[in-house]
Amino acid sequence: MKVAHNFNAGPCVLPKSAIQAAIDALHDFKGTGMSVIELSHRSKEWEATMEECRALWKEILNIPEGYKVLFLGGGASMQFLYVAMNLLENKAGYLETGVWAKKAFAEAKAIGNAVKIASSSDKNFSYIPKGYEIPEDLDYFHITTNNTIYGTEIHQDMNSPVNLVADMSSDIMSRPVDVSKYALIYGGAQKNVGPAGVTFVIVREDILGKVSRYLPTMLDYRTHIKEDSMFNTPPVFSIFIMTETLKWLKNLGGLNAMYKINKEKAALLYSEIERNKMFVGTAAVEDRSIMNICFVMSEEYKDKEDAFMAFAKERGMVGIKGHRSVGGFRASTYNACPVESVKALVSCMQEFEKLNG
């Protein structure tokens, strides 16, 4: 079987145990004689899986009372609209740290009075803004905790005087999080917690029902809370694999263990980027992501970019091409990316340097 070192930014690498469980469930789900994608979402077998998935979220993240966990469709991009529709009454603030933060801000501006509190666009989003103040008259303050395209990350749970809303699509479950500091956390599953097709939402219930606008039934969080995320047919297969992925994470030792592994992987690759004269990191050192590691060829070796890409591909590296808007290289080292793959990429960079440096 071909060996691939998967560094795709999403959909991305998943635990082997979750893949095997999915294969088995496609044939026969919990002894029902039916595939998981054939079974009624109202069956007791499926309802038990939904509850298990929700319970794993609460346990692993230590989610406090008063919060609800939802599984929805539409991806994080749909949540850009959901958030503004449900929470924006007078004014909302946004931290602009990349493409997805800009898109979230644009959706809010289309709904009501949304303002940009700070931005790192002046340096092509290569750092996280600092020194700004969060106005206390905001309905909420929105952040994107990890920026997949530019390789920057907010590493600490900030204190906010207003409701804090976070898009954690690409770093959820990669480190411990103090959920109590957030009013709402959302994201697509396809980085750390499952395949594309399901979106997670963690929302403190007391912030809902405060806007005066009409909320379409499907865009009202309270609809999905009331129906336990089954107002309409949920993305059952994606939720099943999410459940298996969270079981894998729990068995690994939870978020403290996962965070230690993720820091080790990132340190290995960043150390090589710093050592190797052919490569240069693109993110401010203090803001470097441990999920998406972005780098380019150094000025002296710019003409070697295509050669390195081909060289890496021959050695099984998959998905290291940088986003089309920034170029260069990006290694996404999400939870299920094994340390061995990072070591293989480092060896590949060292070999290329010996041959071409």
Known catalytic residues are: 100, 167, 191
Distance from C-alpha of 316 to C-alpha of 330, rounded to nearest angstrom: 15
Distance from C-alpha of 57 to C-alpha of 54, rounded to nearest angstrom: 5
Task: Tell me the backbone φ, ψ of residue 225, rounded to 5 degrees.
Answer: -65, -45
Distance from C-alpha of 33 to C-alpha of 353, rounded to nearest angstrom: 55
Residues forming beta bridges with residue 185, ordered by sequence position? 166, 202
Residues forming beta bridges with residue 93, ordered by sequence position? 115, 141
* Nearest alpha carbon to residue 333 among 16, 4, 7, 3: 7
Which residues have a Cβ under 8 Å from the Cβ of 83 and sit 6 or more positions away? 104, 108, 140, 142, 165, 184, 186
Distance of CA 314 to the CA centre of its chain: 28
Residues forming beta bridges with residue 187, ordered by sequence position? 200
Task: Give, in order, the Cα–Cα distances in Å from 261 to each of 187, 240, 333, 336.
Answer: 22, 25, 10, 10
SS3 351: helix
Burial class of residue 176, CB neighbours in 10 A (0-12, 13-18, 19+): middle
